[in-house]
Amino acid sequence: MSRSFWGICYKCRKRAAGIGVLFFALSMMISLVGCSNTADDDELVILYGEEETEEVAGDLPVEFADVVKTESISVRYRAAVTVDLAFDVERVKIDSVLVTNGEEVKRGQLLISLVSNTDIEAERENILYQIERLELQKARTLDQKEYDITLARFNIAVNEKLGGDEKKEAEEDAIKEIDKKYYYTLQDFDDKIAIQYLKLEYLEKSNVDHNIYAPMDGIVEYLREGLEGTTTVIGKTVITLKDPDDMYFFASDPLAMTYLEDKDSVMITLNGSSGIQYEAVPEPAEDGSSLKFILIGDGASASVAEGTNGYILVELGRRDNVLSVPKAAVHRAGEQIYVYVVDEDGYRRYREVVIGLEGDERTEIISGLEAGERVAVNF
């Protein structure tokens, strides 16, 4: 009876230890002596490489059945609309937080207030006074300049020593000297007035109401802790509102867009709910990258708690009434795919197969097996 180097007689149930050449050879001799000389070659299972030691729980027939592959897509019940609110001013002290997490609010309601600056109005009045005073001084200076020009023209006109052309030239020179005399004074007034207007503009911007108000009716979903007494940071979310009347199941898994977007309806199974299901219609969400599911039928009036998780089973592939085996009967070794066929005497025989669709519970067999044969299955 021929055997490979690692061949073992299953009828005797002897196993080679493989530790040390002498010990292994002794084990092989014992195995050969114990085997029946009348055993046929087809009663042996020849395994290549080390022998598998896992126990076989049983065997099942190769038969025609449906092979279905599904994928579970997670969904979560939440608000469709949320609004993040942040301050638009930097380093202003926060006075009071007027709401709590989970509180219902109304549109326009004051949520967070800043410390008010009672000196702003007084400073504004002072700036306006300075502008008015500077403009009055400038006007007086312009009046003085015009008076000097008028006086210079009169003196030149009554000067009998000057001829007509000489008077005209003298008048032009006099006006140039007066312009030069008042230029820097008037320029200084203009600069001072411009500075005061800049101060006024900055003050009016800082006097804008930077408190946070509710932009809609809703519920406080998030409120940053420890705000009172700290200073503002531009753009950092301090409070989030949600609309409790606009709640749906949402799925962000890319498979949802691929397999569910065009469905008329789907069934949502709640996690840990003993199979409670709701029928829902899928619809693209506002963000364009996820789906929301609108409950219909009995689910439309159901009270589902926010944060409830569920799943939708998506059928990715299906083969009806094809030759197949239980998924647990199929094994892999590198690129080889094989099963153990169990003969009528109970011996396992290695056999390579070609498979098709690998379903959730069964695997399609393209070739290598026939209906009615039995395969070893590890349950």
Q: Residue 160 has what pLDDT?
A: 76
- Share the mean pLDDT of the chain: 83
Q: Residue 117 has what pLDDT?
A: 65
pLDDT at 38 over 60: no
The CATH number of domain 71-78+244-316 is 2.40.30: yes
* Closest of 2, 11, 4 to residue 34, by C-alpha: 11
HEC assignment per residue over 304-352: CCCCCEEEEEEEEEEEEEEEEEEHHHCEEECCEEEEEEECCCCCEEEEE
Pick the CATH number of 81-117+209-242 from 3.90.1150.10, 3.40.190.10, 2.40.50.100, 2.40.10.220: 2.40.50.100
The Cα 227–Cα 229 span in angstroms is 6
pLDDT at 12 over 80: no
The Cα 183–Cα 137 span in angstroms is 14
pLDDT grade, residue 85 (50/70/90)?
Answer: very high
The Cα 129–Cα 135 span in angstroms is 10
pLDDT at 355 over 70: yes
- Position 97, amino acid: V
% of the chain exceeding 90 in pLDDT = 59
Q: Residue 205 has what pLDDT?
A: 67
pLDDT at 13 over 60: no
**345 or 44, higher pLDDT:** 345
pLDDT at 14 over 50: no
Q: What is the mean pLDDT of residues 313-338?
A: 95
- Position 377, amino acid: V
- Triad 323, 324, 330: Cα angle to 5°: 145
pLDDT at 41 over 60: no
| Residue 211 in tokens | 């408190």
- Residue 368 phi, psi (nearest 5): 110, -15
